[in-house]
A and B are shown apart, each in its own frame.
Chain A
Amino acid sequence: MSTANEIRQTFFQECDELLEALDDGLCEIDEGIADESFDLETVNAVFRAVHSIKGGAAAFGLDALVHFAHQFETVLDVMRAGELTPNDDVMKVCHRAADHLSDLVAAGRDNEIVEGDLGTEIAAKLSGLVVGSESAKPDNDTESETFGFVPLGLPIPTNTDDEDQELALNRFCVRFTPSAGLYTSGNDTSLLFRELAELGELEVTAETDRLPDLKNVDPGESYLSWVVILLTEESEQSLREVFEFVDGLCELQINLDLDATMPEGSPDATKDVDDEAQASSGVAAEESDSPTMVAASSPDSGTERAKPATGPKATVRVNLDLVDRLINMVGELVINQAVLTQCIKDAGLLDRGELSTSLAEFRNLARDIQESVMAIRAQSVKPLFQRMARIVREASELSGKDADFLTEGETTEVDKTIIERLVDPLTHMIRNAVDHGLEPPEQRRAAGKAETGHVKLTAAHRSGRVLIEVSDDGAGINREKVFQIAVEKGLIPGDSILKDAEIDNLLFLPGFSTAKEVSNLSGRGVGMDVVRSAIQKLGGRVSIFSQPGKGTTMSISLPLTLAVLDGMVVDVAGQTMVVPITAIVETLRPKAEDIHPLGADNQVVSVRNKLVPVIDLGVVFGHRRTPAPISDMVLLLVESDGSESWALAVDQIFDQRQVVIKGLETNYGHVPGVAAATILGDGNIALIIDPEETAHRSGPVADVGDRARLEEV
């Protein structure tokens, strides 16, 4: 049972890769449409991807998936036969089909059923494409039909291949060369021929050319090959089924005799078989490590295989838990190294030349290991970008705005967790770009722009962080309207004087939505504030830049990994704590005249004429009862959603460094105002502050009663 589950899991993992390859291929075809420069091999690759998904799906009884994949495959097959020239419309349907296919795969994984008639609609469009090309060459279908099932030899539900059987007699020419392995595994050629004979009229010729003199004969070797001519009503599929059990143990070439049924007599048919053999050997090699399988890759396909070998590098699938454990242990190693250094320093041994050299080497090694291990978790943003391509397609269809999606820096690598958690905010931003950013076609024409809008998604490494930008070439932010809405909603006073950038930032306020009508796309009650907080939770920042008439750019800046954080190590009433650098806008030592008491025990500090409430972290965290005199302390200015700012008062700043994040949740639970913990160089634990939560908790609402309630928890 567990093996079946494992295989199933492997299948879905492979599906992900195949879907990615499928998307890649479709995009490549897209690019080649204009000058018809796309490679036929690309179409083949796309076909193989769909085909492999179908094959695997059949094995797991995912009928809906098999059925749809089959329809998709039919179209692709017609395309690779050169009978359907891909154009924009065709590709649109193909993209939709690929999207739906990935939905079905996901549904299959979760044992769900995809609702709605989207599938039927796409399927109808797909078959529309096939019918279009079929009407010209009706004979083709049977032929294309037959290729579906060779490589895996899996039980395929009959409904997929029974659809359009032709009753015309096909004349097949089968060249069958068994390997020695076929006999040693107990197969008998005569039984195979007998089975073939049941399909129709059979003519078998043995080829004895390779038979040596009797004295040279090795009884374990296979010397004979056969040419079989079969006249049958059955499809090639049935023929292949006969040879199912000797798959990989022989060289098998099945050609539909072209003179008989295919007047166009193109050599394509043979080529397709080769492709198929190629695909099958690829699959076979992956499915099983049996050496005979690998040996089965026929020599003629060997030359063609040389090309893709230069493509992707060899990879290993590893359980993510294992990687995480490794990362954890390496983190401890780095801490342990720091502790060791401290000990040696305390013992006064650091001056010894050799010792300090090896210690430095140890430190470098530990760092290197840490970086390499982190790199394992890093993934390219490509799958994420591909998902976004889909969002653009859907959004442009729903909003009736044509949009081209451009990507840059797809190979940029980011921590897997960050990629996963970026999906939702990025989806929202992309939808916004299409729905709010781009103008309707009429308006674009009036503004002298191309009717098709552009949405661009880029990723790049920038000084130890990842920068992701979503830009559109729309009308830009309508600042007057934004300002007006913000006033209407009571988010800002009507007489505020705001700079352009400040108005743009109003978009991030909770409860702000500029869409007049709540469209199906954006404005589902999820505002940009949610996007912002999602990004901030990842230790990132969002900024917005807009030029009227030219478009809007949103940039997200993210840390490379979630396991490490840049922090400011501070002293809070004798306790060492860490404040994430990303939250800190500036640090300052206030002058006495800038500090003003407000109410009983609140204080504000004026920073460039702006009054900011001061929060004594020592009091918030209960390390001291009464606030210490602010003038002796250092203030860390932090900012949050809605451009609220606070000044966190700490006793002193020790250091600024990278710290390894350790969760408190596993062994304890959430601590209000604390994001996580870390282990310092001396082996002690320091808590990492969540500045926003801290500020909110210590706000005017959190009176003594609240604090008391907290202590009960």
Chain B
Amino acid sequence: MAETQIADFGLRELVTFRVGQQDFCIDIMMVREIRGWTPATILPHAPPFVLGVINLRGSIVPIVDLSARLGLRPSEPDDRHVIVIAVVGTQTVGFLVNAVADIIGINQSEVQPTPDVASDATRAFIEGVIVTEERMLRVIDIKTVLPKSMETAEAG
């Protein structure tokens, strides 16, 4: 649905947020809700960027520290942090970010390929960049930032 709209109008709506000192964004169609940080229950043997699981109205939702996942400094979550709940396929995952900024509408043609300078890790997670007057927005490829065990879980 979202994709057909993109094809038809070339228009995309993105939710922008701040992680560390950088601005990122994801497609709004993937975002289910945005909520304040609540302490998560630690998952044993989880990768360091998985903070744990929280109770989202009865479902168990894992929380990914986006900062740690993107190779930036791991966050120390407090009340000012925000969780962006996203739906990826059949999975519901929460991403811990510093703050949500706004929602912007852009033309698909405004998304530029990720410059080569970025490190491998960063480039893998970034679908492209958008340059506006005062800032650069990195478009996150949400599927790649999921922890690996989430993908393997489907096979098992």
Instruction: Specify the chain A residue showing the minimal Cβ separation from B40.
Output: A685
Cβ-based interface call for B119 (8 A): no
Query: Are A670's CB and B44's CB within 8 A?
Result: no
- B residues whose Cβ falls under 8 Å from a Cβ of A: 39-48, 50, 53-55, 57-62, 90-93, 147-150, 152-153, 156
Query: Are B53's CB and A685's CB within 8 A?
Result: yes
Cβ-based interface call for A671 (8 A): yes
Q: Which residues of B contact A683 (CB under 8 A)?
A: 55
A665 to B62, CA, bound (A): 11
Q: A671-B45, A686-B41 are in contact. Are A662 and B60 (CB under 8 A)?
A: yes
8 contacts between A and B (CB under 8 A): A331-B58, A667-B59, A668-B62, A669-B153, A674-B44, A677-B53, A687-B43, A713-B149
Q: Which of A336, A669, A684 contacts B41 (CB 8 A)?
A: A684
Query: Are A622's CB and B45's CB within 8 A?
Result: yes
Query: Are A668's CB and B55's CB within 8 A?
Result: no
Q: Which residue among B59, B93, B152, B156 has the maximum number of chain A CB atoms within 10 Å of its CB? A: B59
Instruction: Specify the chain A residue showing the minimal Cβ separation from B56.
Output: A667
Query: Are A713's CB and B53's CB within 8 A?
Result: no
Q: Which residues of A contact B47 (CB under 8 A)?
A: 711-713
**Interface residues of chain B: helix, strand, loop or mixed (majority):** mixed
Cβ-based interface call for A606 (8 A): no
Cβ-based interface call for A575 (8 A): yes
Query: Are B148's CB and A713's CB within 8 A?
Result: yes
Q: Which residues of B contact A332 (CB under 8 A)?
A: 57-58
Least Cβ–Cβ distance between A160 and chain B, in angstroms: 47
Q: Which residues of B contact A713 (CB under 8 A)?
A: 45, 47, 148-149, 152
Query: Are B55's CB and A667's CB within 8 A?
Result: no
Query: Are A665's CB and B153's CB within 8 A?
Result: yes
> Quick one: which of A634-693 are within 8 Å of B by CB?
662-674, 677, 679, 683-687
Cβ-based interface call for A335 (8 A): yes
Q: Which residues of B contact A306 (CB under 8 A)?
A: none
Cβ-based interface call for A620 (8 A): yes
Query: Are B44's CB and A687's CB within 8 A?
Result: yes
Q: A663-B60, A685-B60 are in contact. Are A669 and B44 (CB under 8 A)?
A: no
Least Cβ–Cβ distance between A287 and chain B, in angstroms: 37
Q: Which residues of B contact A662 (CB under 8 A)?
A: 58-60
Least Cβ–Cβ distance between A462 and chain B, in angstroms: 31
Query: Are A677's CB and B44's CB within 8 A?
Result: no
A685 to B56, CA, bound (A): 10
In order of increasing CB-CB distance, the 9 nearest A-B pairs are: A669-B153, A332-B58, A621-B44, A669-B149, A685-B41, A668-B62, A710-B45, A677-B60, A667-B91
Q: Which residues of B contact A335 (CB under 8 A)?
A: 58
A329 to B40, CA, bound (A): 22
Q: Which residue among A336, A669, A683 has the maximum number of chain B CB atoms within 10 Å of its CB? A: A669
**Interface flags, A328-345, vs B, CB<8A=1, else 0:** 110110011000000000
Q: Which residues of B contact A664 (CB under 8 A)?
A: 43, 53, 60
Query: Are B41's CB and A667's CB within 8 A?
Result: no
Q: A664-B53, A710-B45, A713-B45 are in contact. Are A670 and B58 (CB under 8 A)?
A: no
Cβ-based interface call for A623 (8 A): yes
Q: Which residues of A contact B42 (CB under 8 A)?
A: 575, 621-623
Least Cβ–Cβ distance between A260 and chain B, in angstroms: 69
Q: A668-B153, A669-B150, A677-B53 are in contact. Are A711 and B58 (CB under 8 A)?
A: no
> Quick one: which of A686-713 are within 8 Å of B by CB?
686-687, 710-713
Least Cβ–Cβ distance between A599 and chain B, in angstroms: 23
Q: Which of B54, B148, B149, B150 contacts A685 (CB 8 A)?
A: B54
Instruction: Specify the chain A residue showing the minimal Cβ separation from B87.
Output: A667
A335 to B60, CA, bound (A): 13
Least Cβ–Cβ distance between A417 and chain B, in angstroms: 19
Instruction: Specify the chain B residue showing the minimal Cβ separation from A710.
Output: B45
A685 to B51, CA, bound (A): 13
Q: A677-B53, A679-B55, A685-B55 are in contact. Are A667 and B45 (CB under 8 A)?
A: no
Q: Which residues of B contact A623 (CB under 8 A)?
A: 42, 44
> Quick one: which of A556-583 are within 8 Å of B by CB?
575-576
Query: Are A667's CB and B62's CB within 8 A?
Result: yes
A677 to B55, CA, bound (A): 10
Q: Which residues of A contact B53 (CB under 8 A)?
A: 664, 667-668, 677, 685
A686 to B47, CA, bound (A): 19
Q: Which residues of A contact B92 (CB under 8 A)?
A: 666-667
Query: Are A667's CB and B58's CB within 8 A?
Result: no
> Quick one: which of A319-362 are within 8 Å of B by CB?
328-329, 331-332, 335-336
Q: Which residues of A contact B90 (CB under 8 A)?
A: 666
Least Cβ–Cβ distance between A710 and chain B, in angstroms: 5
Query: Are A668's CB and B58's CB within 8 A?
Result: no
A685 to B91, CA, bound (A): 18
Least Cβ–Cβ distance between A690 and chain B, in angstroms: 11
Q: Which residues of B contact A665 (CB under 8 A)?
A: 153, 156
Instruction: Specify the chain B residue showing the minimal Cβ separation from A660.
Output: B58
Query: Are A667's CB and B61's CB within 8 A?
Result: yes
A575 to B53, CA, bound (A): 13
A687 to B42, CA, bound (A): 9
A198 to B58, CA, bound (A): 71
A677 to B56, CA, bound (A): 13
Q: Which residues of A contact B40 (CB under 8 A)?
A: 685
Q: Which residues of A contact B59 (CB under 8 A)?
A: 662, 666-667
Q: Which of A668, A673, A677, A712 contacts B150 (CB 8 A)?
A: A668
Least Cβ–Cβ distance between B61 and chain A, in angstroms: 6
Apart from the given pairs A622-B44, A667-B91, A668-B50, 5 other A-B contacts in the complex at a CB distance below 8 Å: A328-B58, A667-B61, A668-B43, A668-B150, A671-B43
Query: Are A711's CB and B45's CB within 8 A?
Result: yes
A687 to B40, CA, bound (A): 12
Least Cβ–Cβ distance between A6 and chain B, in angstroms: 25
A623 to B147, CA, bound (A): 20
> Quick one: which of A166-212 are within 8 Å of B by CB?
none
A331 to B55, CA, bound (A): 13
Q: Which of B45, B48, B91 contacts A672 (CB 8 A)?
A: B45
Instruction: Specify the chain B residue showing the minimal Cβ separation from A682.
Output: B55
Query: Are B58's CB and A673's CB within 8 A?
Result: no
A711 to B49, CA, bound (A): 11
Q: A665-B153, A669-B153 are in contact. Are A575 and B58 (CB under 8 A)?
A: no
